[in-house]
Structure 1
Amino acid sequence: MTALPAGIAAVAVPLVLLGSAAGHAARPDALASALRAQGVLPAGLSRPLAVLVTAVEAAAGACVAAAALRALDGTFRASSLASALLLALYALYAAYVARTRSGVPCGCSGGIGAPMTGWIAVRAAALAALALTGAARGLPGGTSGYEAPVIVTAGLGFAVILWTLPYAMIEERSPG
């Protein structure tokens, strides 16, 4: 089952990118507010950067998904590589913010409420590695009848795990 890693990437990466873009689009002020709170970039750039991030996530996710669905291996590899670079940039930024600023919101997926922690960076790095796997291996080809449902299910499972990881790792401390 050599198609499994590339298949997981073909399912999980676009789902997470498109889900994140949809969350940002549904709550457009959340990411801009989080970027201001993080204080890494000038406050005046927070709104344009939030719009740009939403558009880039949507474009990257849509390109990977469309290439996978249309079985365009070259386009899948190129869009997976672009997604890997975007997600690696997210991982580096998240690691920096988590290390230098405490208690700031991540702004992930429309600002659902997770603080910026190392787990945000881990998720982005894991997604970058998956996208890089897709870029290196290309589309899963020659899968038999039973492999396709396994690949899709594994991809969905990875997407759910990576989507929820930072929220699952939040430690709430009771007062007193």
Structure 2
Amino acid sequence: MAAMLTGVSAGTVALILLAGFAGHLLHPRVLPAALTAHRTVPAPLIWPVAVAVGALEGVLGAVTGYALLAGRPRALTLGATGSALLFVAYALYGLYVLRTRPSGRGRRGDRVAGAENRAVPCGCSADDTPMSGWVAGRAAALALASVTASAGAGSAIASHGVHVALVGLSSVTFAVLLWSLPAAMADPERSVAG
């Protein structure tokens, strides 16, 4: 059972990172636009940061996926540990953006006159999913999955036969669910200016 959990965690992390990398390649302006809206990165560094983040996702996703498929426990430990650090950074960054960006609501949830009512985009996909607690929560869940994959790298590599098929199918399922979570949980009425 531990081998299955570790394998599913590693597969899910690899697929999410590779999907993020592909999204950054296909829609190269989404992350820089989100970073501009977040106002956390100086303007001259927005594009270099966006390119570095996309490349890091691609490398970590490729290393983790390759290590899982090729049976390389050390490479899996390395890729999963790097992924855990990246996802922890994403979760903390998401929380920081949520705390520092005006939400357009007062202490009791009343609308504040003149406050910005439109939520900022998360920058993690091609659509306009707003930055939310769900984005930070997804990153935290993926950090935990990465730690699980790193801690049990040896057992994940040892699984064979039907376990590989189950790990693959489960990884795809969890990756799709986690990828879709923030967009599915977005509240369109909160992000509409009004």
- Distance in 2, matches of 1:162 and 1:12, equals 9
Q: Report the 3-state secondary structure (helix = DSSP H, G, I; strand = E; otherwise coil) of the residue aligned with 2:127.
A: coil
Aligned twin of 1:123: 138
Aligned twin of 2:89: 89
State the Cα distance separating 1:2 from its structure 2 match.
2.0
Runs of 4+ deviating beyond 6 Å: none
1:59 and 2:72 correspond: no
State the Cα distance separating 1:147 from its structure 2 match.
2.6
- Distance in 2, matches of 1:141 and 1:72, equals 7
Q: Report the 3-state secondary structure (helix = DSSP H, G, I; strand = E; otherwise coil) of the residue aligned with 2:120.
A: coil
Residue identity in the other structure for 2:124: C
- Distance in 2, matches of 1:76 and 1:124, equals 19
Q: Could you report, residue by residue, the CA deviation over 1:101-125 in whole angstroms, capped at 9, with x for unpaired residues?
A: 131111112x311011111000111
- Distance in 2, matches of 1:48 and 1:104, equals 20
- Distance in 2, matches of 1:87 and 1:128, equals 5
Residue identity in the other structure for 1:165: L
State the Cα distance separating 1:138 from its structure 2 match.
0.5
Q: Report the 3-state secondary structure (helix = DSSP H, G, I; strand = E; otherwise coil) of the residue aligned with 1:108.
A: coil
State the Cα distance separating 1:135 from its structure 2 match.
0.5
Q: 1:71 to 1:141 in 2, by over 3 A?
A: closer
CA RMSD across the alignment: 1.8
Match of 1:132 among 131, 135, 147: 147
- Distance in 2, matches of 1:100 and 1:165, equals 23
Gaps of 5+ in 2: 104-118
Q: How many residues align?
A: 175
Match of 2:174 among 133, 144, 158: 158
- Distance in 2, matches of 1:98 and 1:67, equals 35
What percent identity do the matched residue pairs reach? Answer: 42
Aligned twin of 1:4: 4
Residue identity in the other structure for 1:25: L
Q: Could you report, residue by residue, the CA deviation over 1:22-70 in whole angstroms, capped at 9, with x for unpaired residues?
A: 1011111111111011001212211110011111110110111111111
Residue identity in the other structure for 1:89: A
Residue identity in the other structure for 2:176: V
Gaps of 5+ in 1: none
What's the TM-score once normalised by structure 2's chain length?
Answer: 0.84
Q: 1:96 to 1:145 in 2, by over 3 A?
A: same
Query: Larger Cα Rg: Structure 1 or Structure 2?
Result: 2
Q: Report the 3-state secondary structure (helix = DSSP H, G, I; strand = E; otherwise coil) of the residue aligned with 2:180.
A: helix
Residue identity in the other structure for 2:62: A
Aligned twin of 1:37: 37
Where do residues 95-110 of structure 1 align in structure 2 (5 Å cutoff)?
95-101=95-101, 102=103, 103-109=119-125
- Distance in 1, matches of 2:159 and 2:60, equals 25
